[in-house]
């Protein structure tokens, strides 16, 4: 039975769609704990994530490459009908990688809007996080070069060009909040430390509560969750995506990749 038919026939909880890159990948176990404590189980999670993930093109980190989010298999696996389900929730985060890959703000916005239109076909409640404009604004040239060479060594972007594009892209994303079903969350300076693009460890619980609160989860504010240092390795070691390339060789993995004890399904694309 196809994944979409399986989910429709056996799951009555709302589908949760999580789209992003390194912050989502690293903090996925924490997000999962917050959702499990504030929503009825079992959950039905669809995610397209991965370090360095692009919203439109294949992207590579070390030996591993992943397809662009807007073009991955998630959209084929998502349930075509939501009979018996409540409103799906969707998160679009980590949108800025493609700027360092040299893409224009117009191209990136097009990929984001393509994902939004597909989500709207399912009447999804959509939350978008802005890029870390305030964090990048205080970045010195040497810190920018250190960050770029560490995370994006093959992409020669300048700090002045990047900050201008971040500002323009954030303005375009903010304009999406005028549409029904969409909320936009700012990225305040205190969410970041020395690393200007990845969330500060001490802030992760509170910031994810802030982001997920836009999904109208009344129990969320009262729930407690804790960071674990090993969380960073969970997605890499346990959540194999449906399609990837390792050393250039195409790999396929059946989904859902994880079915937890209480029935929660995690499908990764």
Q: Is 64 strand, coil or helix?
A: strand
Taking only the tens place, the pLDDT of each residue in 125-147 is: 999 999 999 999 998 888 888 87
Q: How far is it, in rounded angstroms, from Cα 25 to Cα 32?
A: 11
Q: How far is it, in rounded angstroms, from Cα 12 to Cα 233?
A: 30
Span 98-117, mean pLDDT? Answer: 96
Residue 236: the pLDDT is 81
Number of domains into which the chain is organized: 1
Closest CA to 93 of 125, 118, 60, 130: 130
Q: 162, 99 in Cβ contact below 8 A?
A: yes
- pLDDT band of 84, cuts 50, 70, 90: low
Q: Which CATH number is 41's domain given?
A: 3.40.50.1110
The tokens for 231 are 């969380």
Average pLDDT, whole number, for the chain? 90
Q: Which domain holds residue 204?
A: 3-268
Residue 223: the pLDDT is 80
* DSSP β-bridge partners for residue 128: 92, 184
Task: Please state the φ and ψ torsions of residue 224, each to the nearest 5 degrees.
Answer: -115, 145
Taking only the tens place, the pLDDT of each residue in 143-191 is: 888 877 877 777 777 888 899 999 999 999 999 999 989 999 999 999 9
Q: 249, 64 in Cβ contact below 8 A?
A: no
**What one-character-per-residue DSSP string does 123-176 give?**
T-EEEEEPP-HHHHHT--HHHHHHHHHHH-TT----HHHHHHHHHHHHHHHHHG
């Amino acid at each position: 039975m196809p994944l979409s038919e399986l989910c429709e026939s056996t799951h009555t909880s709302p589908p949760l769609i999580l789209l992003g890159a390194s912050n989502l990948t690293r903090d996925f176990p924490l997000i999962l704990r917050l959702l499990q404590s504030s929503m009825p189980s079992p959950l039905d999670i669809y995610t397209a994530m991965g370090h360095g993930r692009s919203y439109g093109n294949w992207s590579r980190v070390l030996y591993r490459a992943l397809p662009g989010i807007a073009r991955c298999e998630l959209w084929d696996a998502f349930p075509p009908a939501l009979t018996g389900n409540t409103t799906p929730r969707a998160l679009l985060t980590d949108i800025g990688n493609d700027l360092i890959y040299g893409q224009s703000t117009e191209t990136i916005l097009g990929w984001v809007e393509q994902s939004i239109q597909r989500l709207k076909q399912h009447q999804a409640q959509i939350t978008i996080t802005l890029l870390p404009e305030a964090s990048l604004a205080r970045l010195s040239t040497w810190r920018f070069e250190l960050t770029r060479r560490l995370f994006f060594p093959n992409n020669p972007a300048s700090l002045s060009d990047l900050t201008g594009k971040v500002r323009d892209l954030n303005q375009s994303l903010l304009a999406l909040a005028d549409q029904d079903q969409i909320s936009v969350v700012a990225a305040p300076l205190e969410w970041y430390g020395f690393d200007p693009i990845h969330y500060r460890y001490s802030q992760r619980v509170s910031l994810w509560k802030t982001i997920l609160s836009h999904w109208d989860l009344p129990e969320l504010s009262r729930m407690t969750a804790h960071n674990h240092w090993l969380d960073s390795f969970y997605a890499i070691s346990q959540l194999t995506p449906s399609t990837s390339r390792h050393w250039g060789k195409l790999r396929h993995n059946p989904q859902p990749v994880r079915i937890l004890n209480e029935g929660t399904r995690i499908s990764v694309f």
